[in-house]
Amino acid sequence: MSLLEVKNLSHSFDYPLFKDINFSLQKEETMSITGVSGSGKSTLMHICSTLLKPNSGDIKLFEKDIYGLSQKKLIKIRREEIGIIFQTHYLFRGFSAYENIELSNLMTKNEIDDELLEKLKITKVINQKVGELSGGQQQRVSIARVLAKKPKIIFADEPTGNLDPATADEVINILFEYISEVKGALLLVTHDDKLASRCKYKKNLSIDGLIG
Ligand SMILES: Nc1ncnc2c1ncn2[C@@H]1O[C@H](COP(=O)(O)OP(=O)(O)OP(=O)(O)O)[C@@H](O)[C@H]1O
Ligand SMILES: [Mg+2]
- Ligand 2 centre distance from Cα of residue 111 (Å): 31
Q: Has residue 108 been placed in a domain?
A: no
Task: Say if 118 falls within a structural domain.
Answer: no
Over the stretch 11-22, which tens digit does the pLDDT of each residue have?
999 999 999 999
Residue 71 domain-assigned?
yes
What mean pLDDT comes out for the span 103-126?
85
- Measured in angstroms, how far is the CA atom of residue 68 from the centroid of ligand 1? 24
Residue 157: which pLDDT band, with cuts at 50, 70 and 90?
very high
> Of all protein residues, whose CA lies closest to atom 17 belonging to ligand 1?
42
Q: Ligand 1, atom 1: nearest CA belongs to which residue?
A: 13
Assess if residue 100 is contained within a domain: no
The count of domains in the chain is: 1
In a domain, 146, yes or no: no
Which CATH number fits the domain that encloses residue 10? 3.40.50.300
Q: Is 135 part of any domain? A: no
Confidence of residue 135 (pLDDT cuts 50, 70, 90): confident
Q: Which of 41, 49, 55 to mutate to test the pocket of ligand 1 (most atoms within 8 A of CB)?
A: 41
Q: What is the mean pLDDT of residues 93-118?
A: 84
Q: Are 174 and 119 in contact (CB under 8 A)?
A: yes
Q: Give residues whose Cβ lies within 5 Å of ion ligand 2.
A: 41-42, 87
178 pLDDT band, cuts 50/70/90, is very high
- Percent of the chain surpassing pLDDT 90: 70
137 C-beta closer than 6 A to ligand 1 = no
Query: What is the domain range of residue 158?
Result: 2-91+152-211
Decide if 185 is inside a domain.
yes
Span 28-52, average pLDDT:
96
Residue-level pLDDT at 168: 86
Q: What is the pLDDT of residues 41-96, one digit of tens each?
A: 999 999 999 999 999 999 999 999 999 999 999 999 998 999 999 877 778 888 99
pLDDT category at 164 given cuts 50, 70, 90 is confident
Beta pairing, strands 185-189 & 30-34 = parallel
Pocket test for ligand 1, best of 43, 162, 187 (most atoms within 8 A of CB): 43
Segments in 63-164 forming alpha helices (H): 71-80, 97-108, 114-119, 135-148
State the maximum Cα–Cα separation within the chain, in Å, rounded to a whole number.
Answer: 47
Q: What number of H helices and E strands is found in the chain? A: 7, 10
Ligand approaching nearest to the C-alpha of 37: 1
Amino acid 86: pLDDT: 84
What is the spatial distance between Cα 41 and Cα 43, in angstroms, rounded to a whole number? 5
Mean model confidence pLDDT for the chain: 92
**125 domain-assigned:** no
> β-strand 2-12 against 56-61: which pairing, if any?
antiparallel
Whole-model pTM over 0.85: yes
Residue nearest to atom 31 of ligand 1 (CA): 38
